[in-house]
Amino acid sequence: MTTTSKQDRVLIFDTTLRDGEQSPGATMSHNEKLEIAAMLDEMGVDIIEAGFPIASEGDFEAVSDIAKASKNSVICGLARANFKDIDRCWEAVKHAAQPRIHTFIGTSPLHRDITALSMDAMADQIHETVSHARNLTDNVQWSPMDAIRTEHDYLCRVVEIAIKAGATTINIPDTVGYTIPRESADIIRMLLERVPGADEVIFATHCHNDLGMATANALAAVEAGARQIECTINGLGERAGNTALEEVVMALKVRHDVMPYDTGIDTTKIMGISRRVSQVSGFPVQFNKAIVGKNAFAHESGIHQDGMLKNKETFEIMRPQDVGLAGTSLPLGKHSGRAALRAKLEDMGYPMADNQLKDVFVRFKDLADRKKEVFDDDLIALLRDAGAADQNERIKVKFLRVICGTEAPQSADLTLEVDGVDKQVTCQGDGPVDATFKAIKSIFPTTARLQLYQVHAVTEGTDAQATVSVRLEEDGKIVTGQSSDTDTVVASAKAYVNAMNRLLVRREKSAPDSDVKTVKYTDAV
């Protein structure tokens, strides 16, 4: 086996579908997970962590189906340190050409306290569970959760036990995003120096972003000898998220002069998958986000624009094309035909089958009738709504008329189709959006609490579409709905209904105590 520190190739382990999907409100449907996994596979991700099979039936099915469909990537599932989790994980990943079991336990004093395990008892448990996993497959990853806050001597001891029990990858998680680059590197270096057998395994780095240093910490770990980076698309993940795939991959590409490590990622696929993950997770990408933000290649000031016209390298350290953005973007209009739309979507990283194009074209024509120019971002919003409509939604907005203005009361006349039956109601409220939401709730009563209501314009101009995000919470389950329309109140109604439909799927998919968000990380053997 190639040893950790000699290998110049850094493996990319994507955990968008596991750690990323754990972000409150980022739940994806089965088909969406399969689609994202196929995109990850195609872009060259080495290992896809497809889910946490014991967490719910839905997670198990998703991991199994991704394992069956995978072409190139290793397919990995997560399991706590007990035989039941590990067996369930194996049942799901075993269909892959290259399966991996990833088992973990919290090793820091705080986590040992929760599990009420002594250092010795935990060490025994690690030996038993890793050996058990290794009897099922020769590709076993082990993680000491909260490694960064684990006593160094104990960390060395448990890593050695995991290696002896047969782990082939040792992941060092900064579970709470607490470390800094120097420490991240020192810990990897220490493990490589002190642990017998360390040069026979791959060390991985898994960094959370609570202090905004996840990418820097991951790269520091690589410089110290780690050869697997765990990351997610758009940095999705618990709390402030994880290392963003696009950031580490582009950093290694752009600064190859000082970090001479390669990844197998086709970077031209980055923008397409970033947009798709944003759509299916309902998490908009912040405008100034590195690499994939809307402004990442935009230049506003006169000095910058002047420099760009003379030599693009003055203010761009990578080309938009390197991450899959077409150089210039010409808007479409109502006279644009099917072929122009297809070419444009292909250019943006969304190749369409004929039947998909048919539906998107109808939506495009409808939008182009209401809006003079249809920009790339309008098309992206339109694709998201088309995707949502595909998902057999139980509730649909059929008709909405609001009365608003300076004279109260504002009211909404709404017809929803619920399970194929039209239901109509008129409600008053404190403004048109409040009246509309009250109307939805009066037709489809729910105890879900509105946690967030956010509107942003997709493009400029008074005819711009508004994208509305709505986040609902019910019994600890959080879902996000999104929709876009040139009419902000219509977009609000559709976003609320989209969130409701996601909540209904979540309700069906899992009982609260078997849900991925509520699985306790502390089960013993």
Q: Where are the alpha helices (DSSP H) in 444-487?
A: none
CB of residue 510 vs ligand KIV: minimum separation in angstroms?
19
3-class state of residue 371 by DSSP: coil
Paired tokens of 432: 């048109």
In whole angstroms, how close is the CB of 149 to ligand KIV at the nearest point? 11
**Options 39, 45, 123, 145; binder of ligand KIV; rule CB under 6 A:** 145
Among 13, 90, 104, 142, binds ligand KIV (CB under 6 A): 104
The answer to whether 465 touches 381, Cβ cutoff 8 Å, is: yes
Q: CB-wise, 126 or 145, nearer to Zn ion? A: 145
Q: 100 or 344: whose CB is closer to Zn ion?
A: 100
Residue 262 and residue 9 in contact, taking contact as beta carbons nearer than 8 Å: yes
Q: Shortest distance, CB of residue 221 to ligand KIV, whole angstroms?
A: 14
End-to-end CA distance of the chain: 31
Tracing tokens 């100034």 back to the chain, one arrives at 288
The structure tokens listed for 258 are 């000082």
Q: Residue 6, Cβ neighbours under 10 Å: how many?
A: 9
Smallest distance from ligand KIV to CB 7, Å: 22
- CA atoms 92, 94, 100, 101: torsion sign: positive
Q: Are 283 and 241 in contact (CB under 8 A)?
A: no
Q: Which of 71, 80, 185, 203 is nearest to 133 (CA)?
A: 80
Q: Which of residues 170-199 bind ligand KIV (CB under 6 A)?
A: 171, 173, 175
* Element counts in the chain: helices (H) and strands (E): 16, 14
104 binds, among Zn ion, ligand KIV, none (CB under 5 to 8 A by kind): ligand KIV
Among 15-23, 68-76, 304-312, 464-472, the segment contacting Zn ion (CB under 5 A): 15-23
Residue 471: phi and psi, rounded to 5, are -115, 125
Strand order of the β-sheet with 421-429 is 395-403, 410-418, 421-429
Q: Is residue 19 at the binding interface for Zn ion, with CB under 5 A as the rule? A: yes
How many CA atoms are closer than 13 Å to the CA of 270, on its beta-carbon side? 27
CB proximity list for 125: less than 8 A, separation 6 or greater:
81, 105, 117, 524, 525
Residue closer to ligand KIV by CB (options 64, 171) is: 171
Nearest distance in Å: CB 227, ligand KIV: 17
- In angstroms, what is the minimal distance from the CB of 79 to ligand KIV? 10
Choose between 26 and 296: whose C-beta lies nearer to Zn ion: 26
The least CB distance from residue 228 to ligand KIV, in Å, is 12
- In one letter, which amino acid is 226? A
| Beta carbon nearer to ligand KIV, 145 or 218 | 145
Q: Which is nearer to Zn ion, 19 or 377 (CB)?
A: 19
Token output for 124: 């025994």
Q: Which of 27, 56, 143, 279 binds ligand KIV (CB under 6 A)?
A: 143
Q: Exposed, middle or buried, 385 (CB in 10 Å: 0-12/13-18/19+)?
A: buried
Minimum CB distance to ligand KIV smaller for 174 or for 385: 174
- Scanning 14-22, 49-57, 110-118, 382-390 for contacts with Zn ion by CB under 5 A, the matching segment is 14-22
**Which of the stretches 19-27, 104-112, 221-229, 503-511 binds Zn ion when contact is defined by CB under 5 A?**
19-27
Q: Which is nearer to ligand KIV, 143 or 184 (CB)?
A: 143
Using CB distances below 5 to 8 A depending on partner kind, what does residue 99 bind out of Zn ion, ligand KIV, none?
none
Q: Which residues pair with 456 in a beta bridge?
A: 467
Q: Is 487 or 523 the residue whose CB approaches Zn ion more closely?
A: 523
2 to 21: interface string for ligand KIV, x by CB under 6 A: -----------------x--
**What does 145 interact with, of Zn ion, ligand KIV, none (CB < 5 to 8 A by kind)?**
ligand KIV
With CB under 6 A as the rule, give the number of residues binding ligand KIV.
Answer: 9
Examine residue 320 and say whether the peptide bond preceding it is cis (omega within 30 degrees of 0): no
Nearest approach, Cβ of residue 380 and ligand KIV (Å): 29
- Choose among Zn ion, ligand KIV, none what residue 143 binds, the Cβ cut-off being 5 to 8 Å by kind: ligand KIV
- Looking at the DSSP bridge assignments, the partners of residue 171 are 204
Per-residue burial over 313-349, b if 16 or more Cβ lie within 10 Å, else e, is eeebeeebebbbbeeeeebbeeebeeeebbebbeebb
Closest CA to 204 of 174, 181, 182: 174
The residue (of 203 and 496) whose beta carbon lies closer to ligand KIV is 203
Smaller CB distance to ligand KIV: residue 215 or 336? 215
206 touches ligand KIV (CB under 6 A): yes
Q: Which residues contact 146 (CB under 8 A, 6 or more apart)?
A: 106, 107, 108, 110, 111, 173, 175, 176
Residues near ligand KIV (CB under 6 A): 19, 104, 143, 145, 171, 173, 175, 206, 208
Residues near Zn ion (CB under 5 A): 19
